[in-house]
Amino acid sequence: MTMLVGNFGLSMAMLAALIAFLLSVAAARFRSRVFLDCARGTIAAHFVLLSISALALLAALAGSDFTLDYVAHYTERALPIGYKLAAFWAGQEGSLLLWAWLLAAMSTIAVFTMPMPRFAESSAEPAAAIATLAAVCGFFAALMLFAANPFVTADLVPTDGHGLNPMLQNPGMIAHPPMLFLGYAGYTIPFALLVGVLVGGRTDNQWLSLVRPWAMVSWLFLSIGILLGAQWAYVELGWGGYWAWDPVENASLLPWLTGTALLHSIMIQQHRGMFKRWNASLVAVTFILCIFGTYITRSGVIDSVHSFGKSLIGTFFLVFLTASIAFSVLVMIARRKLLKPEHELEILSGREGFFLATNVLLVGMTVVTLVGTIFPLISTVLADQQVTVGPTFYNKVVAPLGLLLIALMAVGPLLGYGKDAAARLARGLIVPAIAAALAMAGFAISGLTNLWALIAAVIAAAAVTAVLVDLFRSVRLFSLNHQLTIVASLAHMLPVNRRRYAAQIVHVGVILIVIGITGSSLFSQKETFSIKQNDTIQFAGRTLTLTDLRPVEAANFQALQATLQITDSHGRQSTLTPQIRQYNKWDEQASSEVSIDSSLREDVYVTLASSDGKGNVAIQVIINPLVIWIWIGGVVLTLGGLIGLFPRLARRLAAVPAAPAPAPQVKSKKSRKNRGQMGVRASV
Amino acid sequence: MPALQKKLLLGGALLVVAVGYLAYAGMKSGWVYYMEVDHFLADDQFKTQRVRLHGKVSEQDFNVKGLDANFSMLGKSRSINVAYHGVIPDMFQSGRDVVVEGQLDQAGVFRAQVLMTKCASKYEPNSPHQNIKEQS
């Protein structure tokens, strides 16, 4: 029954995507509004049909319907209901269905929020965008029907399922994959809008205000997804790290890097009409990288720790990837006239130059990461010898570029547009420079000698102060001009300059993340100990005592739990309880459950590595400084992103009191806020 | 605007050189050959290099105690003795496909600093089947 409903949904959804595609082609060909509206409706129908399939799978998972191979493969009766449902995306087929369903949902929102032409003559632009969405939606539906069907039934129905892999039984499993897929799916919409503009022949930059929210939403989801993945790896895998430069991790980082570049360069095109080719390429490349990442990790061409069996879907993705690249290149060449800049770049020291530098660095990081990821392929083709480049390669190349980027971040937001920007900037840099000097002095006093840490600290100090100085100066100016208190001015300004402050908050989040990464990667200490009950060990200024070792039990696993009493140098006590779990359905594989004591200063991270059954255990203790700032930074970044996306949220957060004067434009001698109007100079 | 273009070109060239140098330095330290056990044993040039080896853990010759794993890693026709000290990944079992990274010692034992297990049968969304556990 589930099989029938699921397959019905999938096949009808594929048909709907095909019809939507044909209808939009017809709408473009015959300049018809009617066809256009029908195409939009069919995209919505595609979403409804896929929802039927998705619900069928969810119902089967919740009800432990083991007639479905997929359900039997990834769940068991004793599994908690949350994980039963999350098993939706535990496997290849289900995760593709999730992606397809999210894509269908976002496409439906996109086609109904797209402005429709007033005259039927200009139907080509929305039609081409809808056709693109329909093609991608159709691809995913076809992929599931022909290569990775989640609704395959079992020949013999088992009484109980295999169970979910222990590593996936973590709260990270519930949130991380959907976030990541929302990001991947979301980047399809800017691509579709780009195709629409190029095919429709639009010359103005209006369409970017449509692209921006999608680029922002997708970027935010991708960021959250990546961070959740890192956090999951950190608490689950037991090696004390959160990022290993594994191909699958890189695959999610690549579109994030180009997506970040896109968010910045969009602004230049909106304000100055420049960087058009660059923006178009970034939109296309980001979409293509989402597909590419999926291709390399699911086809088996690159060995990854997230291994998939080799399967037909690799071929499907390769064909789709090649077609997307070829189509993007062709359409951009054919419409190259539309992508000519309205202004030439005049000066490097202004905002434009900084945005250019930001973009170049981000794309540089993308290229380096890409080359590293596919190096095993490159070396096999060129030298018939597989060579991998390890984490050291990325750390040595990407980390310096990243720090340079943060340095730009300290200066960039303070800059205006145009020629005299640099002169206006100088005053704003005094305080950040002092902060940087203080950071340096702090290092000298504390006796830390690590050069990278020093550089990171100086840059982070300068960047954070720059944001604060900028905020303080504009708030003070506003309060002087309007005779308001500082708090009231802040409340007024936050909604008015929402985008700017949202960006600043995101920047602070990124800086916090960089601080966390720097601290934990440079100053981590690790040691393994073999101990027995009541043994006491000394490590990194702490005393650890194994006070208890006992078996514990849960619905679907049994575990050996160690209790460690930890006293730090200040006498603060904490208790950690790492476990070795033996899941009932995974008897050949023990799984260690990490226990972490987190503080703002550092994490104490303890793994129970092994036990000989006679009371002797091996434990691994890792001291990871500042890790928590990565997660705090993630929260700050998310908050900034949400404020940028939802104006009302910003207004509510600021809880505006009765406004005496609705002054959206503040006259300032620095005239930074008028940047939208100013500086449109005649080009060469 | 030739002056600006010159500046742009110069800046671009500088960046390419800098990134190129970084990439070269990173490659030199991160460069690791990846191969099968048989290939490794057949070619003497790798005996003194740090490499990454793929093979199967022997069912008989397999000994894990606390933080030490000593096992024989099987290729298609030949095998090599591997010694690893550190936290043993959860998935490490006899009969499994594993990847080890390290170097051959004087006695002909492969000293692994990294031990990764691999299981190609199932998909794991962002939660590696292998644990990378490096000895400090």
At residue A422, the pLDDT reads 67
Task: Name the 3-class secondary structure at A347.
Answer: coil
Whether residue A170 lies within 8 A of chain B, CB to CB, comes out as yes
Residue A244 forms contact with B (CB below 8 Å): yes
Q: How many CB atoms lie within 10 A of CB A423?
A: 10
Tell me what pLDDT residue A658 has.
41
pLDDT at B136: 30
Q: Decide: B97 and B55 in contact? Cβ < 8 Å.
A: yes
Output the CA torsion sign for A81, A82, A88, A89: negative
CA nearest neighbour of A633 among A229, A254, A227: A227
pLDDT at A381 (0 to 100): 86
Which residues of chain B are within 8 Å of residue A305 when distances are taken between CB atoms?
116, 118, 128-130, 132
* Per-residue confidence (pLDDT) for residue A684, from 0 to 100: 27
The pLDDT of residue B91 is above 90:
no
CB contact under 8 A, B125 and A90: yes
Write the DSSP assignment of A334-366 as a string of letters: HTGGGG--SS----SSSHHHHHHHHHHHHHHHH
* Burial class of A442 by CB neighbour count within 10 A (0 to 12, 13 to 18, 19+): middle
pLDDT at A45: 98
Residue-by-residue DSSP string for A61-102: HHTT-TTBHHHHHH--TTS-HHHHHHGGGTSHHHHHHHHHHH
Query: Who has greater pLDDT, A635 or B121?
Result: A635
Q: Among residues of chain B, what percentage have pLDDT more than 70? A: 85
Find the CB nearest A387 among B31, B99, B132: B31
A172–B22: do the CB atoms touch at under 8 Å? no
Q: Which contiguous run of DSSP H or E holds residue A227?
A: helix A208-237
pLDDT at A649: 59
Contact A388 B132 (CB under 8 A): no
pTM (predicted TM-score): 0.89
For residue A18, give both structure tokens: 């095909």
**CB-CB neighbors (< 8 A) of A69 in chain B:** none
Mean per-residue pLDDT, B76-104:
86
Strand order in the sheet with A602-611: A525-532, A616-625, A602-611, A595-598
Sign of the alpha-carbon dihedral angle for A581, A583, A587, A589 = negative
Q: Which of A345, A343, A367 minimizes the C-alpha distance to A355? A: A345
Segment of A310-319, B63-72, B86-95 carrying the highest mean pLDDT = B63-72
Cross-chain CB nearest to A618 (options B34, B66, B91): B66
From chain A, the residues in CB contact with B134 under 8 A are 239
- CA A474 to chain B, closest CA, distance in angstroms equals 32
Predicted confidence at residue A671, as pLDDT, reads: 40
pLDDT at A199: 93
Q: Which of B10, B114, B127 is most worth mutating to test chain A (most A CB atoms within 10 A of its CB)? A: B127
**pLDDT at residue number A660:** 43
The one-letter code for the residue type at A103 is L
What pLDDT does A273 receive? 83
Q: Which residues are within 8 A (CB) of A321 and not within 5 positions of it... i.e. 6 or more apart?
A: A288, A291, A292, A295
Residue A275 CA, chain-centre distance (Å), reads: 24
**H or E element that contains B73:** strand B68-74
CA A616 to CA A530: how far, in whole Å?
A: 7
Both structure tokens of A431: 């305080």
Residues of A in contact with B122 (CB under 8 A): 91, 165, 307, 309
Whether ipTM > 0.85 holds is: no
Number of residues in chain B: 136
CA proximity to A267, closest of A351, A174, A324: A351
Name the residue in chain B with its Cα closest to that of A622.
B136
Nearest CA of chain B to the CA of A657: how many Å? 46
CB within 8 Å: A388 and B126: no
Among B32, B66, B136, select the one facing A610 at the smallest CB separation.
Answer: B66
Tell me, yes or no, if A392 comes closer than 8 A to chain B by beta carbon: yes
Q: Greater confidence, A227 or B25?
A: A227
Low-confidence ranges of chain A (pLDDT < 70): 300, 303-311, 346-349, 413, 416-424, 588, 647-684
Q: What's the confidence (pLDDT) of residue A661? A: 42
Per-residue pLDDT at A567: 93
What band does B2 get if pLDDT is binned at 50, 70 and 90? Answer: low
* Over residues B67-90, mean pLDDT: 88
Answer whether A251 touches B (CB < 8 Å): no
Cα–Cα dist A100/A214, whole Å:
17
Sequence-ordered strand ranges (E) for A348-453? 387-389
Nearest CB to A376 within list B22, B34, B130: B34
Using alpha carbons only, what angle is made at residue A469 by residues A468 and A473, rounded to the nearest 5 degrees? 120
Report the gap between the CA of A347 and the closest CA in chain B (Å).
7
User: What is the reported pLDDT for A329?
Assistant: 96
d(CA A54, CA B123): 19
